[in-house]
Amino acid sequence: MRKKWALLTGAVIAEVAGTLMLRATIENPLWIPLVVISYALAFTLLGFALRLGLPIGVVYGTWAAFGVALVAVLGMVVFGDTLSIGAMIGIAAIIAGVVLIETSTTEKPPEAGIEVNA
């Protein structure tokens, strides 16, 4: 169970790193290979989390919500971006929605016909 969530956490971290580096490519295109590697790693880890049986709605919702929240907060810290109160409330609402989805979803094995080597 922990392995699934570790993979998903890694996917979020890789996606956030890629997004932050994407901003750096504006001034220095040498960051582009690292952006590509980060996004490839993020999608690979997402795929592994799905293969281990996490529901796709939970995986994608968690990845997207925490990615948005982390990029917004780190954008403030690293790049001096600003967030309005409305944006902060929106981010909190997204995270709350993901928590509601995650706590109300029961894990079940993948659909028949899809082989999982866990």
Contact yes or no for 39/14 (Cβ under 8 A): yes
Q: Please give the DSSP secondary-structure letter assigned to residue 105.
A: P
What mean pLDDT is predicted for residues 60-80? 90
**Is 106's pLDDT higher than 70?**
no
CA–CA separation, 91 vs 34, rounded Å? 27
**Is 45's pLDDT higher than 80?**
yes
Render pLDDT for 78-92 as a digit per residue (tens, 0 to 9): 999 998 999 889 888
Domain regions of the chain by residue span:
2-104
pTM over 0.85: no
Query: pLDDT-derived band of residue 32, with 50, 70 and 90 as boundaries?
Result: very high
Q: Copy the structure tokens of residue 65.
A: 């919500």
**Is 112's pLDDT higher than 50?**
no
Query: Which residues 6+ apart lie within 8 Å of 91 measured at CB?
Result: 68, 69, 72, 83
| Residue type at position 30 | L
CA–CA separation, 49 vs 53, rounded Å? 7
